[in-house]
Amino acid sequence: MLKEQTKVDAGIFDEKTMIFLSKFFNKGVIEKLDAPIARGKESDIYIAEPGSAAKRFEYVALKFFRVETSSFFKMENYIIGDPRFSKKITGGREKFGIVKMWCKKEFGNLELAHRAKVNAPVPIMFNGTILAMSFIGEGGEPARRLKDAELENPEKTLKSILDQIGRLYRVRLVHGDISEYNILIKGGEPYIIDFGQAVLTGHPNSGEFLKRDVHNILAYFRKRYGVEMDPDETLKRITGKS
């Protein structure tokens, strides 16, 4: 049964991945693996039909992290300095272990986002280099990225995104890669995705990451919709620092 399901794209499913994937079936997280809905250099995302343990979701999204094409040094830079994981990086820093850690890190970051009541995928389970989370979309169709959406009320959407960034900050988390590519629009509401690189505020570069997030999203809305907000004042409102 599992072998048949993974014929969807046999290229990505090596022996290790197959072993990791089998646990999602065995735990009742998924019942059937369907087609890929997004592909990237570092991961592929597939839609899956939920199993008995995930029936509250219409669909489940499975994120398969690629080991061979992942940016090892980029991942390492976001892990080193994170008190949750830094002490675990030792010895040769074998690439497969780093990618597994990255998968675990995204799961933990999504848990924090969910606790903060941020619009983001709900984490369900991770194993090895695979992460299961709630699917953001309707009727099996993925929600549009912000860059591809035409917003009816851009200012309202921007304020909602900034509110989400503030909610993350209050649980000591900084996304670190906010852009029009990592925000989906569903039912008129923005959903933040791709939390692998997110760091705790104790990370030495968290301040710069937060500043970059705010500047990037404000620049996008200024260029695309003509919405003007002062970056410095926005940062002060988010952090509560004058």
Q: Is 232 a catalytic residue?
A: no
Q: What are phi and psi of 171, to 5 degrees?
A: -105, 20
Here the CATH number for the domain that contains residue 32 is: 3.30.200.20
Q: How confident is the model at residue 180 (pLDDT cuts 50, 70, 90)?
A: very high
pLDDT bracket for residue 241 (50, 70, 90): confident
Residue ending a domain, among 69, 103, 138, is 138
* CA–CA gap between residue 143 and residue 80 (Å, rounded): 33
Give the full edge-to-edge strand order of the sheet including 30-39.
30-39, 43-50, 60-65, 130-134, 123-127
User: Do 103 and 8 fall into the same domain?
Assistant: yes
Give the number of domains in the chain: 2
- How confident is the model at residue 86, as a pLDDT? 55
Q: Per mean pLDDT, which range of 71-80, 106-115, 185-194 is the poorest?
A: 71-80
| Amino acid 81: pLDDT | 72
Residue 155 and residue 184 share a domain: yes
Which residue among 9, 14, 163, 194 is the active-site one?
194
The residues pairing with 43 across neighbouring beta strands, listed in sequence order, are: 65
d(CA 173, CA 200): 5
| b/e sequence 59-73, b meaning 16+ C-beta within 10 Å | bbbbbbbbbeebeee
pLDDT at 70: 55
194: annotated active-site residue: yes
Taking residues 148-172, report their average pLDDT.
98
Q: Which domain holds residue 28?
A: 2-138
Among left, alpha and beta (phi > 0; psi -120 to 50; other), residue 28 is: left
Residues 132, 33 contacting (CB under 8 angstroms): no
By percentage, how much of the chain surpasses pLDDT 90? Answer: 74
Q: Considering 94, 110, 138, which residue would you say is the last residue of a domain?
A: 138
Query: What is this structure's pTM?
Result: 0.90
Tell me what pLDDT residue 40 has. Answer: 82
Domain boundary among 115, 138, 161: 138
b/e sequence 124-149, b meaning 16+ C-beta within 10 Å: bbbbbbbbbbbbbbeeeebbebbeeb
How far apart, in whole angstroms, are the C-alpha atoms of residue 31 and residue 121? 19
Q: How much is the average pLDDT of 54-75?
A: 83
- Among the listed residues 8, 97, 75, the one whose alpha carbon sits nearest the alpha carbon of residue 47: 8
pLDDT digits (tens, 9 = 90+) for 95-135: 788 888 899 999 999 999 999 999 999 999 999 999 999 99
Amino acid at 2: L
- On whether the CB atoms of residues 182 and 192 are closer than 8 A, the answer is yes
Q: Which residues contact 33 (CB under 8 A, 6 or more apart)?
A: 5, 6, 8, 21, 46, 48, 62
Q: Are residues 87 and 105 in the same domain?
A: yes
pLDDT digits (tens, 9 = 90+) for 13-48: 788 899 999 999 999 999 999 989 998 878 999 999
CATH of the domain at 209: 1.10.510.10
User: Which one is catalytic: 14, 177, 213, 230?
Assistant: 177
